[in-house]
Structure 1
Amino acid sequence: MTAELRHPRRLDDSEMATWLPVIRFVQLLPQVLDRTLKDEVGLNHARYAILVTLAGQNDGAVTMTELAHIAGLSRSRLSHALDSLEERGWVSRTSCHSDKRTLSATLTPEGREMLRTAAPVHVDQVRDLVLDPLSPEERDQLSTILDKLLPGVTAAL
């Protein structure tokens, strides 16, 4: 069936066969990662992602806007998560040097230590659930597919 003849609000059987597993995977994976991190180290996946993002900045500060974008969180969810991380001593927030109205966040030494504890748990699970079941060729294919899909999703945020 040509694209012109398909109803734009209905997926055909082949499209549904592709789409339904995608939905299931993107809904279940964060739940599983979240539960394991909480059980093993007392940290949820969103907060882990924030720590990883900050750790990747080579001890540099990241503005709230940049961090929300990178971590894929709304500003309010990010603020709530940072409150929790700051209370635990893992993150500190300061005003940016160039614009005092802009807050930035940095990873503390205690936060870096938490990340060292949590990372092996996370990495093992990512390998078990996503990487190890795939051949090297399938990993390359998945990477290529996601590289095509992510720009559209990112732009829609």
Structure 2
Amino acid sequence: MRIEEAIKQGKFRSNYQKAVVNLIFTSNWLRDAQADFFKEYEILPQHFNALRIIKGRHPKPVSAGEIKEVLLDKASDVTRLLDKLVKLGHVNRRLCDQNRRKMDITLTPKGLQLLEDLEPHMNAFFGDLADRLNEEEAQQLSDLLDKLRK
């Protein structure tokens, strides 16, 4: 469905405006599509992103600041995200031995299992995208988005 149909808007001031509206609309569409299967596990896409960051360093600990630095949603409250993940038993948080002002965040076995359980959902999600875009188109889209942020 074209963006004009999706938001019931016939005209845009320019193709730049249309591109930005389409980008925001599509970003929200992708987020909502993922949120459906995250809901089953009582997490949000931001929690999943934080878990993947922590797993990237596993079994070494990562600090909240390091998570914040690479989190996709920069507006997220990392402390609140981590509080929820601790409460759900997916991560451990303890004072760093070398720097008492820093917290060490690590995955628990339950957190590792959650990421494993989510893998088929993520594979299906990306498989669905592969039905819409071929590899070359996906690369071109990624390149264009990189160019937009320069």
TM-score normalised by the chain length of structure 2? 0.80
What is the letter of the counterpart of residue 17 of structure 2? M
Deviation per residue, 1:15-51 (Å, 9 max, x gap):
1232221110112211221122213x33321111111
Unmatched tracts of structure 1, length 5 or more: 1-10, 153-157
Q: 1:57, 1:100 → 2: CA distance?
A: 20
1:69–1:50 distance in 2 versus 1, CA, 3 Å: same
1:102–1:29 distance in 2 versus 1, CA, 3 Å: same
Query: Are the counterparts in 1 of residues 46 and 76 from structure 2 also a CA contact under 8 Å?
Result: no
Query: Are the counterparts in 2 of residues 37 and 122 from structure 1 also a CA contact under 8 Å?
Result: no
Unmatched tracts of structure 2, length 5 or more: 1-11
Find the counterpart in structure 2 of residue 134 from structure 1.
Answer: 133
Q: What are the equivalent positions in structure 2 for 1:1-150 lying under 5 Å apart?
A: 12-39=13-40, 41-73=41-73, 77-128=77-128, 130-150=129-149
Find the counterpart in structure 1 of residue 7 from structure 2.
Answer: none
Q: 1:139, 1:60 → 2: CA distance?
A: 33
Identity within the alignment, %? 25
1:72–1:57 distance in 2 versus 1, CA, 3 Å: same
Query: Are the counterparts in 1 of residues 49 and 72 from structure 2 also a CA contact under 8 Å?
Result: no
CA RMSD of aligned residues (A): 2.2
Q: 1:60, 1:47 → 2: CA distance?
A: 19
What is the letter of the counterpart of residue 134 of structure 1? L
SS at match of 1:43: coil
Q: 1:97, 1:145 → 2: CA distance?
A: 44
Q: 2:81, 2:18 → 1: CA distance?
A: 36
What is the letter of the counterpart of residue 106 of structure 2? T
What is the letter of the counterpart of residue 56 of structure 1? G
Query: Are the counterparts in 2 of residues 64 and 75 from structure 1 also a CA contact under 8 Å?
Result: no
Query: Are the counterparts in 2 of residues 54 and 62 from structure 1 also a CA contact under 8 Å?
Result: yes
